[in-house]
Structure 1
Amino acid sequence: MENEKRSMKVMEGSASPLIYIRKVKDKRIESLNEMFQMPVVALRADLPVSMKGSPEEGVILSELEKAFKRTLGSRLLFEETYESGVTREILFVVRGDAHIYKENAVFTEESHPLGRFADIDIYECQEEFPISRLEMGYAPRECCICGSERSRCSTEKRHKDADVASYIRQEIDRYLTGNS
């Protein structure tokens, strides 16, 4: 299964599509960990709900997938994309130390022009939860609008989704015009 790539459609659940998709993804990560006995990288765009499934989500995932795959090189063993009517997520199985991949993920999130609009989680074998930025000694993610802790802004709904979406679109346009 060296460098295998697969795409998998996930059907929306009737109660809550996001919870259903998260449970399916968690089971798949567990299965990949068991099958390969290697870390799993989960890449998703971190966007307001109104932007899920949008062309912007596709641009963010495509560009960060390319950037992260350059980092992985021959250590990439398997790749799989989950798609639903709600969101898309890419899973990679990688050979090596999960903590080093978390450092690479944090670097990508912080240095790539679109990295602040993505979430790259690293799952170590036999671990239920991804390695956290905090346990690695990194600061929490920053809000793209005000620079405060992102989770607080999101939980407290400090910014309108429309304002966040507008900012993200502007940054994507700036990135695309600078890279064409």
Structure 2
Amino acid sequence: MADTANDESKLSERAARVFCGPVAELPDMLDARERRAAMQRELLGRAHEGESLLSITLSIPGPHKTSEVLERVFDELSSQAVSALDGAAVREQTRAGGVSGPELMMLVELEPRELKRRVAVVEETHLLGRLADLDVLGRTGDTLFSVQRTEIGLPPRRCLICDGEAKACARSRAHTVHDMQEKIAEIISQGGYI
């Protein structure tokens, strides 16, 4: 895979406008993951019977996880996810951010699978939906669990580049960060967010 710094210098003008934010180093990403997991445990620890946790982040490869454009995309996807709740009450929410990208977590008065069904519509139908990570978590006793797309009859997420299974492409690093960033910028541009 090509060097990230060299890849960035070759980004199209459109992609450079998307991926112009601060650089998230590996320690930043690990800290964000730990903080997110702790917040998920804390929120689900306060969940009432019949509530689930919706965790919203962006699926953005490479070192630039936030920028003015990516924040607008995140706000649009968050708004769409809230609309997809179709009136279900949000009892508590918290927003975080920083170099690792924007995050929003909400305790929603819906069972986990029903919440996943509703928000998956955003992933499946909104032009920007493929850039969203709309994770739904529930709790059984002291055990937290995540609802997978396959549990509600949807296929695994598809790769933006080749339409293969996204996780397989990510694991094998089938596509360069540069190519992924260019594709993401194209999607965002099509939506009118650049």
Q: TM-score, length-normalised on structure 1?
A: 0.83
Counterpart CA distance in 2 for 1:87 and 1:32 is 20
Which residue in 1 is equivalent to 2:71? Answer: 58
How far did residue 71 of structure 1 move? Answer: 2.1
Counterpart CA distance in 2 for 1:15 and 1:152 is 21
Which residue in 2 is equivalent to 1:106? Answer: 120
Give yes or no for the alignment of 1:41 onto 2:57: no
Post-superposition Cα deviations, 1:91-142, rounded to whole Å, max 9, x if no partner, equal 0110121111111222211111000011100011244231111233321100
- Candidates 144, 147, 152, aligned match of 1:128: 144
Which residue in 2 is equivalent to 1:144? Answer: 160
How far did residue 15 of structure 1 move? Answer: 7.3
How far did residue 74 of structure 1 move? Answer: 4.8
Which residue in 2 is equivalent to 1:24? Answer: 35
In structure 2, give the amino acid aligned to 1:57: L
Greater radius of gyration (CA): 2
Query: Across the two proteins, how many residue pairs are aligned to each other?
Result: 164
Would you say the 8 A contact 1:56–1:169 is kept in 2?
no
Counterpart CA distance in 2 for 1:162 and 1:15 is 18
Would you say the 8 A contact 1:40–1:122 is kept in 2?
yes
Would you say the 8 A contact 2:64–2:99 is kept in 1?
no
Counterpart CA distance in 2 for 1:96 and 1:141 is 23
Would you say the 8 A contact 2:158–2:164 is kept in 1?
yes
- Does the residue aligned with 2:146 lie in a helix, a strand or coil? coil
Counterpart CA distance in 2 for 1:43 and 1:102 is 12
Q: Percent identity?
A: 22
Would you say the 8 A contact 2:55–2:135 is kept in 1?
yes
Structure 1 residues 125 and 100, CA gap change in structure 2 (3 angstroms): same
In structure 2, give the amino acid aligned to 1:75: A
Counterpart CA distance in 2 for 1:157 and 1:166 is 16
Post-superposition Cα deviations, 1:66-105, rounded to whole Å, max 9, x if no partner, equal 1111122351222211112222211011012111111122
- Candidates 107, 119, 123, aligned match of 2:133: 119
Would you say the 8 A contact 2:84–2:121 is kept in 1?
no
In structure 1, give the amino acid aligned to 2:133: D
Would you say the 8 A contact 1:60–1:118 is kept in 2?
no
Counterpart CA distance in 2 for 1:50 and 1:18 is 9
Would you say the 8 A contact 2:57–2:134 is kept in 1?
yes
Structure 2: runs of 5+ lacking an equivalent: 1-24
When the two chains are superposed, the root-mean-square deviation of aligned CA atoms in Å is 1.8
Counterpart CA distance in 2 for 1:54 and 1:155 is 26
How far did residue 36 of structure 1 move? Answer: 2.7
Tell me whether 136-145 or 65-74 shows the greater mean CA deviation.
65-74
How far did residue 24 of structure 1 move? Answer: 1.4
Structure 1: runs of 5+ lacking an equivalent: 1-13
